[in-house]
């Protein structure tokens, strides 16, 4: 019997939460056959909901990343200056990850490993975050910041400058060295110095020149 879309979505959410709880309880990634056995569903019904492991992983990732998505949406809807908006855009998600890491570092590390092993399955979330960040960059440029930079160039530079606050794995290695105050200083630095127009051919306000290799 075909599933209605409502029933399918409800079962995806239920089983996705179940698998996430099992990961926490067992300290290991949950295989497709194990999820099937624990779901309480017949194989045919389970396969209607999750044709393969990738689809099951998508459901788990959607639940795990939902707070991050909600945080980004809240920041986008807020009426904030562009520098504050960029700070909150990164801070809100960093705090979620930091609190999860402090509460259960073992599960957090395991889920990071799962995400890395299935990166193509979470790429759409990364792409969405980049899309939202581009919107903030456009606003910042309208406010007179990041002069002369193409959007993609500014996006790449900003992402590299704040990567320790967006890559959850960084918490495993840096822990309490990552703070909201340091993030605020990084964002301030981005808005103060990130430009293609300052200096004699340089980028930003630095005076470093990249040496060209001899032919």
208 and 115 housed in the same domain: yes
Task: Give the tokens for residue 191.
Answer: 């808005």
59 inside domain: no
97 inside domain: yes
Is residue 95 within 8 Å of residue 70, measured between CB atoms?
no
Q: Which of 7-21, 56-70, 155-169, 199-213 has the lowest mean pLDDT?
A: 199-213
Q: Which of 9-18, 110-119, 121-130, 204-213 has the lowest mean pLDDT?
A: 204-213
Return d(Cα 129, Cα 68) in angstroms, integer.
10
57 inside domain: no
Return d(Cα 159, Cα 68) in angstroms, integer.
17
- What mean pLDDT comes out for the span 186-207? 69
22 and 117 housed in the same domain: no
pLDDT digits (tens, 9 = 90+) for 52-109: 999 999 999 999 999 999 999 999 999 999 999 999 999 999 999 999 999 999 999 9
46 and 78 housed in the same domain: no
pTM: 0.86
Q: What is the largest CA-CA distance in the chain?
A: 71
- To the nearest 10 degrees (0 to 180), the angle between helices 180-193 and 82-103 is 150
pLDDT digits (tens, 9 = 90+) for 31-60: 999 999 999 999 999 999 999 999 999 999
128 inside domain: yes
213 and 129 housed in the same domain: yes
Is residue 174 within 8 Å of residue 166, measured between CB atoms?
no
41 and 111 housed in the same domain: no
4 inside domain: yes
DSSP for 5-68 reads HHHHHHHHHHHHHHHHHHHHHHTSPPPHHHHHHHHTS-HHHHHHH-SSHHHHHHHHHHHHHHHH
Q: Where in the sequence is the domain holding 32, given as residue range(s)?
A: 1-51
CATH number for the domain that contains residue 173: 1.10.357.10
Give how many domains the chain has, as a whole number. 2
């Amino acid at each position: 019997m075909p599933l209605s879309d409502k029933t399918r979505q409800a079962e995806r959410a239920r089983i996705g939460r179940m698998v996430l709880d099992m990961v926490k309880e067992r300290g290991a990634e949950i295989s497709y056959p194990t999820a099937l056995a624990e779901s309480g569903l017949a194989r045919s019904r389970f396969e209607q909901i999750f044709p393969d492991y990738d689809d099951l992983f998508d459901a788990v990732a959607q639940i795990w990343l939902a707070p991050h998505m909600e945080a980004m949406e809240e920041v986008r809807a807020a009426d904030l200056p562009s520098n504050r908006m960029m700070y909150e855009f990164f801070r809100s998600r960093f705090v979620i990850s930091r609190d999860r890491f402090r509460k259960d570092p073992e599960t957090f590390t395991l889920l990071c490993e799962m995400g890395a092993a299935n990166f193509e399955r979470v790429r759409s979330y990364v792409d969405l975050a980049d899309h939202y960040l581009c919107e903030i960059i456009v606003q910042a440029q309208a406010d007179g910041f990041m002069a002369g930079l193409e959007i993609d160039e500014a996006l790449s530079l900003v992402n590299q400058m704040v990567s320790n606050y967006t890559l959850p794995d960084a918490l495993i290695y840096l822990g309490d060295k990552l703070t909201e105050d340091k993030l605020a200083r990084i964002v301030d630095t981005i808005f103060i110095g990130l430009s293609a127009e300052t200096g004699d051919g340089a980028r930003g306000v630095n005076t470093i020149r990249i040496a060209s290799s001899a032919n």
